[in-house]
């Protein structure tokens, strides 16, 4: 029962459809809501339909079969486990069923255990009472078709008479009558308890007119005679009537008139209590002990997952459509902004181009002015630092960045040349170094002796002019 989160019990009554919804709590089921739905209306889908939540909150849908469609048989078998009991009942099914076994669906319910009468050697045997429920397959299929049209896909089919019998829990031997309506006719389920066990289940019906008390007496007399023949009816039965006040008055008068016997009135369980018992029994039952044909269970399961897939695809389609709408709205908005920017660019493109041209011209003029003053500064510094005895024969200003010098010096004045080279490298203009003294730029001082003179050359690269030009 722990695997079920809720359970719906549906009773298709003559006047309306009654639906009870139970919630699994504390190892049992607690009534959550009760509804009465007219036959012309469908059941509320939010209560009976299964959706994504049923994957982690399983819902059990149970429908009560109408009493007029059901055959009940009571068999006594040796006590055994569920599988062995199922096999023993299946083995006797042809004898128990009033219609061919190929045209029925059936289930069973173990209704207590008891000890057999002592045998000749004094030993007793543990026996179990099993109620076998048999229904025509055609009736079940027709009933399921009606439920499907109402949107109710049943997981199990049950008969409430089993829960009525358990609710009464007979404490003494006798005959128990449960009044009900079968096919619009007054009827009753008759349960015979003798020897501490349920022995027989039968239906009796009342004619709509005539001597109803005598007819009831005759039917009960035939059942009693059958019990005597089978050997389980060994004493005069005590009569019990399980009925509400309305039915109790009618049936008590008929029983007292027809049988001339005292009748004990027992209050029946309320419909909601009966539904709760059915929910608990259905939740604990094994899958194979079910009146619902296996092919219907498989088809309902496939329909459930197909419906989930279709809903999932539908939700994905809606999300995809929403994303597309958002995307196209964003594209339209950005396109609008882009066109606005393009319009602004087109409006200022002429002035922007003119500004670029003017900036380029200004840069050329600034570079020219800078190079002109840089060359003059270089000539000034060279003239200031050139020592006597060092002859400058050739000078050039290359690319506005590099100053190349060459000349001659007496061999005895080589030191003056070296001092002149070092002084130029360290010279400053406006407290800033004039030349780049890194070893990887410019040309180092070179000289070559030839007789009493030496030819020399070197090149220096302007520091600030290089940075500004770049």
- Burial state string for 238-267 with b = 16 or more CB within 10 A and e = fewer than 16: ebbbbbeeebbeebbebbeebbeeebeeee
Q: Is the pLDDT of residue 119 over 80?
A: no
Check whether 468 has a pLDDT greater than 50.
no
State which of 243, 264, 292 marks the end of a domain: 292
Q: Is the pLDDT reported for residue 83 higher than 80?
A: yes
Closest CA to 307 of 55, 61, 63: 55
208-225 pLDDT, tens digit each = 888 889 999 999 999 999
**At which of 258, 292, 326 does a domain end?**
292
Give residue 37's pLDDT band: very low, low, confident or very high (50, 70, 90). very high
pLDDT in tens, 250-283: 898 988 888 888 899 998 999 999 999 999 999 8
Triad 357, 360, 365: Cα angle to 5°: 125
Contacts of 433 (CB under 8 A, 6+ apart): 426, 427, 463
Residue 363 to residue 366: CA distance in whole angstroms: 5
pLDDT band at residue 196 using 50, 70 and 90 as cut-offs: confident
Q: What digits encode the pLDDT tens for the residues 357-411?
A: 888 888 777 777 766 677 777 777 788 778 888 888 888 877 767 888 888 888 8
Are 287 and 376 in the same domain?
A: no
Would you say 442 and 436 are in contact if contact means Cβ atoms under 8 Å apart?
yes
- Nearest-10 Cα torsion for 404, 410, 416, 419: 40
3 state DSSP class of 139: helix
- Considering the domain architecture, whether residues 163 and 255 belong to the same structural domain is answered as yes
The number of residues in the chain equals: 470
3-class DSSP assignment, residue 65: coil
pLDDT band at 332 (very low <50, low <70, confident <90, very high): very high
Are residues 282 and 402 both part of a single domain? no
Predicted local distance difference test score (pLDDT) of residue 470: 39
Contacts of 453 (CB under 8 A, 6+ apart): 408, 409, 410, 411
| Sequence-ordered strand ranges (E) for 79-184 | 104-115, 126-136, 156-158, 174-182
Lowest mean pLDDT, pick from 69-83, 279-293, 396-410? 396-410
Position 232 scores a pLDDT of 86
> What DSSP assignment string belongs to 222-245?
HHHHHHHHHT---SPPPEEEE--H
Q: Which domain holds residue 461?
A: 370-469
Asked whether residue 128 falls in the same domain as residue 223, the answer is: yes
Residue 116 has a pLDDT of: 80
Q: Which of 237, 229, 272 is nearest to 7 (CA)?
A: 272
State whether 127 and 233 are in the same domain.
Answer: yes
User: For residues 291 and 286, what is the distance between their CA atoms, to the nearest angstrom?
Assistant: 11
Query: Per the structure, how many domains does the chain have?
Result: 2
* Boundary-marking domain end, from 274, 292, 310: 292
d(CA 467, CA 216): 125
Average pLDDT over residues 317-345: 92
Task: Give the Cα separation of 370 and 344 in Å (integer).
Answer: 37
pLDDT, position 440: 61
CA distance 160 to 147: 17
Beta carbons of 264 and 193 less than 8 angstroms apart? no
User: Averaged over 35-43, what is the pLDDT?
Assistant: 90
Please measure the distance between the N-terminal and C-terminal CA atoms of the chain and give it in whole angstroms: 86
Q: Burial, 217: exposed, middle or buried (Cβ in 10 Å; 0-12, 13-18, 19+)?
A: middle
Question: Looking at residue 323, what is its pLDDT?
Answer: 94
166 falls within a domain: yes
- Is 397 found in the same domain as 257? no
350 found inside a domain: no
Which residue carries 């000539």 as its tokens? 379
The verdict on residue 36 lying in a domain is no
Percent of the chain with pLDDT over 90: 39
Residue 62: its H or E element = strand 59-64
| CB atoms near residue 351 (< 10 Å) | 9
Q: According to the model, what pLDDT value does residue 439 have? A: 61
Tokens in use for 320?
A: 């995809």
> Of the candidates 468, 390, 460, 388, which has an alpha carbon nearest to the alpha carbon of residue 427?
460
Would 91 be classed as within a structural domain?
A: yes
Q: Is 218 helix (H, G, I), strand (E, B) or coil?
A: helix
Whether residue 267 is found in the same domain as residue 129? yes
pLDDT of residue 145: 94
Cβ(200)–Cβ(227) under 8 Å?
yes
113 and 239 inside one domain: yes
Q: Rounded mean pLDDT of the chain?
A: 86
């Amino acid at each position: 029962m722990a695997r079920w989160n809720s359970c719906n019990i549906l009773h298709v009554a003559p006047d309306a459809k009654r639906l009870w919804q139970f919630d699994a709590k504390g190892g049992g089921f607690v009534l959550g809501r009760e509804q009465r739905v007219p036959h012309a209306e469908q059941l509320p889908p939010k209560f009976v339909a299964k959706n994504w939540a049923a994957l982690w909150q399983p819902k059990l849908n149970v429908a009560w079969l109408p009493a007029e469609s059901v055959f009940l048989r009571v068999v006594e078998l040796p006590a055994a486990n569920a599988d062995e009991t199922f096999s023993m009942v299946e083995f006797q099914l042809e004898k128990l069923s009033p219609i061919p076994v190929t045209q029925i669906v059936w289930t069973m319910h173990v209704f207590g255990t008891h000890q057999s009468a002592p045998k000749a050697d004094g030993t007793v045997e543990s026996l179990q009472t099993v109620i076998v429920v048999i229904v025509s397959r055609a009736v079940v299929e027709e009933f399921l078709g009606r439920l499907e049209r109402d949107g109710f896909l049943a997981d199990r089919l049950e008969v409430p008479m089993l829960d009525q019998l358990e609710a009464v829990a007979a404490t003494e031997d006798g005959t128990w009558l449960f009044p009900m309506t079968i096919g619009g006719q007054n009827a009753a389920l008759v349960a015979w308890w003798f020897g501490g066990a349920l022995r027989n289940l039968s239906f009796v019906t009342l004619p709509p007119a005539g001597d109803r008390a005598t007819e009831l007496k005759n039917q009960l007399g035939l059942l009693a005679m059958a019990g005597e023949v089978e050997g389980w009816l060994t004493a005069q039965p005590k009569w019990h009537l399980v009925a509400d006040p309305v039915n109790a008055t009618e049936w008590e008068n008929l029983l007292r008139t027809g049988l001339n016997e005292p009748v004990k009135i027992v209050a029946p369980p309320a419909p909601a209590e009966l539904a709760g018992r059915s929910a608990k029994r259905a939740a604990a039952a094994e899958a194979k002990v079910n009146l619902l044909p296996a092919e219907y269970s498989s088809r309902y399961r496939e329909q459930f997952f197909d419906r989930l897939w279709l809903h999932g695809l539908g939700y994905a389609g809606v999300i995809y459509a929403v994303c597309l709408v958002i995307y196209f709205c964003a594209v339209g908005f950005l396109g609008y902004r882009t066109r606005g920017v393009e319009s602004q660019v087109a409006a200022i493109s002429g002035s922007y181009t003119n500004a670029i041209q003017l900036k380029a011209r200004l840069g050329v003029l600034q570079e020219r002015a800078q190079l002109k003053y840089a060359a003059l500064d270089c000539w000034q510094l060279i003239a200031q630092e050139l020592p006597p005895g060092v002859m400058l024969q050739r000078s050039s200003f290359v690319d506005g960045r590099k100053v190349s010098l060459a000349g001659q010096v007496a061999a005895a004045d080589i030191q003056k040349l070296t001092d002149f080279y070092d002084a130029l490298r360290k010279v400053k203009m406006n407290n800033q170094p004039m030349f780049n003294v890194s070893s990887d730029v410019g040309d180092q001082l070179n000289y070559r002796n030839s007789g009493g003179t030496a030819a020399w050359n070197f090149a220096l690269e302007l520091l600030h002019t290089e940075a500004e030009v770049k």
